Chain A
Amino acid sequence: MLGWELPPYNSGGLGEACLGLARALSKNGVEVTFVLPQKVDLDYDFMRIVFADIGEDFKRLQNSYLSYRQWVESYGKDAGSSPFDFISGALRYAENISDIVKKYHTDIIHSHDWLTYPAAIAAKELARKPMLAHIHSTEIDRTGGHFPNPIVYKIEKDGFENADKVLSVSKYTKNILIEDYSINPNKIDVIYNAIDKVSIRNLPPALTEMKNLGYKVVLYLGRITLQKGPEYFVRAARRVLEFEKKTIFVVVGSGDMLERMISEASYSGILDKFIFTGFLRGEEKNRIMQAADLFVMPSVSEPFGIVPLEVISNRTPVMLSRQCGVSEILNHVLKIDFWDIEEMANKIISVLRFRCLHDDLVNESGKELININWDKAAQKCIGVYNQFI
């Protein structure tokens, strides 16, 4: 299995998804050798971890989710590393893969996202084994379709075309592969992501002061980037506040559109109803999730989206855009189109007004979560492996 990152050295959902899947695969009898581009200190006993040692230069290339445009905006011309370093990192990964292929036996090469595809293609040629290209996020998602980096796009397309099978995390992403990459639909299988089953206990309440004053809390949690639709959240908030003045909008996360989000809220005269917490992890993140009366994910384009599952396990209702892969497996959530501000506001207000709606969403989505687990994903994955072994 070829990956780019694993927790805790991860920048986002890719590392989590790779870990969850690898762990469940090994539990279901698959021997996993997980290759990472560079050495990090990891301690997982259920699989072998090896490193391609692509070099010290690439250590700072952490965020595999930045698009080219975001990169330029956030790092400017003086940035020490450029997206081209990512590309050369991916290519160096490919150069270094041969030693690993020689040293470790494999029946299947399973690679995750474009950064690993050049290495996977090289490994396929060297080992003469079938290759699977797993896709968690495309350049089209990351850029909202505006000016995708042509080299990244080309690497992705090469990966899909050279793969014996493409695994996509949703039908939504499968359609992007068909429409924007001209991949044969029959070659693509959908394997939904999941979360590890953890029973999250009730944590000490957060935002108590405001809640005691009768404020309801609507939560945005995720990277503040074009892909996640933060500006739609602000516009819906403005509409909600016309009807429900005692509402606070909490924004958790960071990203290149934070400033835009703040200035839009300020321009609309509702900045006093916003709280920006920055990036939160672990217990702090769970506490905010539990404090919220509703979580909203207005993503413009989201291959899967793991956060709603975490929110549900914290017993908070979820609203998400139909442009999220995860909405394909969740029935007991509210769904909207990300551009439909009026409908978003209509539904937010309803949840704030009717406690019974909040309660039924929490209870029913909680039941639904039981069937969303990595074992299921792993079994489907093994089914695909068996087609080739």
Chain B
Amino acid sequence: MPSICLYFQVHQPLRVKRYRVFDVGINHKYFDDNSETNLNNKKVLQKVAEKSYLPANKILLELLKKYPEFKISYSFSGVFLEQLKSYMPKVLRSFRKLIETGRVEILSETYYHSLAFFYSKNEFVSQVELHKQVIKDTFGLSPKVFRNTELAYTNDLAFWADKAGYKAILAEGWDPVLGWRSPNFVYKPKGAKRIKLLMKNYKLSDDIAFRFSEKSWSQWPLTTDKFAAWVNAINGNGQVVNLFMDYETFGEHQWADNGIFEFLRDLPRAILSHPDNNFVTPSEAAKRYPAMDEIDVPGIITWADTERDLSAWMGNSIQSSAIRFIYDLEKDVNKTRNKKIIEDWRRLQTSDHFYYMCTKWFSDGDVHKYFNPYESPYDAFISYMNAATDLKFRIEKKLKSKN
């Protein structure tokens, strides 16, 4: 002990192209940008695959072959898998190879990487079901552990997941929620019966995901032995260290030049050089360790920003108006029973669309700006609302023709 539980989030949204008011009613393709900008979904996917997914998969496959004790887990959004199938089947094959080792767990999430849980329970459940299906079809697996978009979590969500039969659910190990308790144990959500709660050790996770290349950080450069020593220090005072991060950490957020792949390649050796350490998948962690206490999260916590809330997605009025607009269409969308309309509506629910409209710190040119393919949050809103307006007209037209 402790056990290391690695989970990587893999997601790419379908970004809305520059869609003008003049396109409304004429052009119903919202996601097919083919410019040289970062609105070109295919181009972004290819770039990230070359920089991150392919080299990281190659290393992880080597590691799984080399260390029989090594285990990892992924959560893939449905929109990501869809794009892989259309544009980069090669990447999908390399993920399959990893999963064939039998030591890679796949987690459950919403197909459209949405925040539907907080707006429509029915829609949320539909998207989880769709996701289950795509995981079954693609990898032949049935996920047993749930994680919500942006790790957005509340008691209510845990209660739902418990009833749905999941073995575990993931959340941020946020201090105000944990209090004096450590994230390095397994817990039980308040009000839940069987489900276990795994909480991200954000300090150690972010040492890799955010601080790895930061030269001003006192611990820079981060070596695998140094990192393993921090893990070893938990020995006797914790059972599981949950390292949760975006998969793009490897090669996209932290660049290859800064040695992130060498770090990844050497990490299992360093961790396993201590005889008490081992690796687990989330469902193994839930099975192996008892819940030490009950965790109460009445309000939403996420893994984002210093606030650990959803303010980066729904904090300003353009965001809340856009998200309200799209969920207000739900009833009519379902009435159309039109596959294409329902799919476009769901694609417009992906949380990234709202994230691009975030205005906090826009002036500072920080992480929010870096990940924004639009010139400004306002440009993101304008294209989004024009597309959503077109969708609304399509729905109205469809319903009219039905009556």
Contacts and interface: CB of A to CB of B under 8 A. Distances in A.
Contacts of A356: 317-318, 320-321
A360 interface: yes
Contacts of A353: 385
B317 A331 contact: no
A347 B382 contact: yes
Given A335-B375, A347-B382, A356-B317, A368 B363 contact: yes
B57 interface: no
A226 interface: no
Interface in B348-390: 359, 362-363, 375-379, 381-382, 385-386
A353 B385 CA distance: 10
A343 B317 CA distance: 23
A22 interface: no
A345 B21 contact: yes
Nearest to A367: B363
Contacts of A335: 375-376
Question: What is the interface residue range for chain B against chain A?
Answer: 20 to 34
B359 A332 contact: yes
A346 B362 contact: no
Given A334-B376, A334-B378, A354-B385, 8 more contacts: A243-B21, A331-B363, A346-B20, A346-B22, A350-B381, A350-B385, A357-B318, A360-B318
B316 A350 contact: no
A368 B362 CA distance: 10
A342 interface: yes
Most buried by B among A331, A342, A343, A349: A331
10 contacts: A332-B362, A334-B379, A346-B386, A350-B385, A350-B386, A357-B318, A357-B378, A360-B316, A360-B318, A360-B378
A91 interface: no
Nearest to B363: A331
B382 A357 contact: yes
Contacts of B363: 331-332, 368
Most buried by B among A347, A350, A361: A350
B21 A346 contact: yes
A284 interface: no
A259 interface: no
Contact of B378 (A343, A361, A368): A361
A363 to B, nearest CB: 8
Interface residues of chain B: helix, strand, loop or mixed (majority): helix
A356 B321 CA distance: 7
A364 interface: yes
A22 B153 CA distance: 55
Contacts of B316: 360, 364
B321 A364 contact: no
A342 B22 contact: yes
B327 to A, nearest CB: 15
B381 A357 contact: yes
Contact of A331 (B321, B376, B385): B376
Interface residues of chain A: helix, strand, loop or mixed (majority): helix
B37 to A, nearest CB: 14
Most buried by B among A342, A345, A350, A356: A356
B255 to A, nearest CB: 26
Interface in A354-379: 354, 356-357, 359-361, 364, 368
Interface in B172-190: none
A380 B377 CA distance: 30
Given A331-B376, A343-B20, A360 B317 contact: yes
Given A331-B363, A360-B316, A368-B363, A342 B376 contact: no
A331 B362 contact: yes
B362 to A, nearest CB: 6
B359 A364 contact: yes
Given A347-B382, A361-B378, A364-B359, A354 B318 contact: yes
A243 B24 CA distance: 11
Contacts of B21: 243, 345-346, 349-350
A243 B385 CA distance: 15
Interface in A326-353: 331-332, 334-335, 342-343, 345-347, 349-350, 353
A129 to B, nearest CB: 38
Contacts of A345: 21-22
A156 to B, nearest CB: 33
A360 B357 CA distance: 11
A191 to B, nearest CB: 19
A364 B381 CA distance: 15
A311 B20 CA distance: 26
Nearest to A345: B21
A242 to B, nearest CB: 9
A15 B379 CA distance: 35
A335 B376 CA distance: 9
Interface string B22-37: 1000000000000000
A55 to B, nearest CB: 49
Given A331-B363, A331-B376, A361-B378, A354 B321 contact: yes
Most buried by A among B22, B317, B320, B378: B378
Interface in B40-71: none
A354 B324 CA distance: 13
Contacts of B362: 331-332, 364
A244 to B, nearest CB: 9
Nearest to B320: A356
A173 B311 CA distance: 38
A192 to B, nearest CB: 14
A342 B317 contact: no
Contact of B359 (A334, A343, A360): A360
B317 A359 contact: yes
B260 to A, nearest CB: 31
B382 A350 contact: yes
Contacts of B381: 350, 354, 357
Most buried by B among A334, A345, A349, A360: A360
